[in-house]
Amino acid sequence: MQKVSSKREMLLLCIGAIGAGFLNGLLGAGGGIILYFTLGALYGRGAKENLIVSSMAVMFFCLVSLFFYKGNNALSYESIMRVCVPAALGGITGALLLKRISTAAVKKLFAIVIIISGILMLVR
């Protein structure tokens, strides 16, 4: 990840990260997308690097959200484990495959997932 070279970049990165955290906490999803595009706009780095950094940030968003949801007794441990174990296996598989997939394919897959998710949210 490239170092922040100016106060303006730091401000924009902080705004993007705060917005991403807020959206993820409010909706339970979507923060990584904001962070992905913020990183791309600021640094123009590759899609893979932006996905990796965004994924790491989402992990922290989710851990913070889990702490607050669990603190409010909104979730049981059984519900958490039913989703977390398969999600962790999927995350490991995806991380291993990321090395073998071209950047162009990653961009297309990411766009397809966003479009399908948006359509499903509007229809359901």
What's the pLDDT tens digit per position in 92-104?
898 888 889 888 8
Q: Please check the confidence at residue 1 and state whether its pLDDT lies above 60.
A: no
Query: Looking at this protein, which amino acid is placed at residue 56?
Result: M
CB 47 within 8 A of CB 33: no
What's the pLDDT tens digit per position in 39-75?
888 887 777 888 888 888 888 887 887 777 766 676 7
What span, in angstroms and rounded, lies between the C-alpha atoms of 61 and 68?
11
Mean confidence (pLDDT) of the chain: 82
Q: Whole-prediction pTM value?
A: 0.66
* Contact partners, residue 61, CB within 8 Å, separation at least 6: 20, 21, 24, 25, 31, 32
Q: Please check the confidence at residue 78 and state whether its pLDDT lies above 90.
A: no
The pair phi, psi for residue 30, each rounded to 5°, is: 100, -20
